[in-house]
Structure 1
């Protein structure tokens, strides 16, 4: 951009996008703090939530669901196993595939962490009507879909 071009500061799309980014950073900070008592990081919570909903998911499939590389998931596994939160089992039909499951402790920690997460969401969304929440969600899903392959 040169000095003769319009700068984006007054563009509503730019200004509102910056607000979304700032809100996301604030949520990440607050959620990181809320998860500390459970000795969890956000990536671990994401993994636990997905395994709760889809037990026996492969590492490859969980990485796709979380929009991360398989190596990211692989790096989480040893610590989460050591914490007693998950277990890996070989697939009966394909020995190359590992299936992931929550342990009893993992489910217990997840359900407690979800209460903290839900309380945070309720707190930050309290001033929004259900229609506003739905509109925001619709817009974020459109953005995710548009950028999913980038």
Structure 2
């Protein structure tokens, strides 16, 4: 870098974004540790939450919703299926499509995991007033929308 170029860490936008990224990473690490007694990883929890909210979604739709490649989903699903947490069934109209749904065991584990997750999120978000929490959420939704790639 030449001496005339502004360094990124002198820029408040850079410093604040690094703080957001560090906070996100800290929450992910804490969540991974909190979910370990349930033998569940954050990525697996994402799958369970999405299938609970959208039963019958396809593997393709799940990958898009989670912002991951289909290969990531292809690797995750057998682990959850082998634990009897979800099932994959052929679509009646298109045999190439597999529909996903939670089993009763999957739903029960999800409810336990959500208690853990909500406890962690309550601890994190109580650092903010309700208005600050809403403002933060709105800002992060705008960031996600600005970077949306389809």
- TM-score, normalization by structure 1: 0.96
Separation in structure 2 between the aligned mates of residue 85 and residue 120 of structure 1, nearest angstrom = 23
Unaligned runs of 5+ in 1: none
SS at match of 2:123: helix
User: Which residue matches 1:145?
Assistant: 145
Displacement after TM superposition at 1:29 (Å):
0.7
Separation in structure 2 between the aligned mates of residue 8 and residue 95 of structure 1, nearest angstrom = 52
Please list, as runs of the form range in 1=range in 2, the aligned pairs for 1:80-91 lying within 5 A after superposition: 80-91=80-91
- TM-score, normalization by structure 2: 0.96
Q: Stretches of 4+ moved more than 6 A in 1? A: none
Separation in structure 1 between the aligned mates of residue 72 and residue 9 of structure 2, nearest angstrom = 36
CA-based RMSD = 1.1
SS at match of 1:6: coil
CA deviations over 1:51-95 (Å, ceiling 9, x no partner)? 000000000001111111111111111111111110000001110
User: Which residue matches 2:65?
Assistant: 65
SS at match of 1:5: coil
**Which shows bigger deviation, 89-98 or 6-15?**
6-15
Unaligned runs of 5+ in 2: none
SS at match of 1:56: coil
Paired residues in the alignment total: 150
Is the aligned partner of 1:92 residue 2:112?
Answer: no
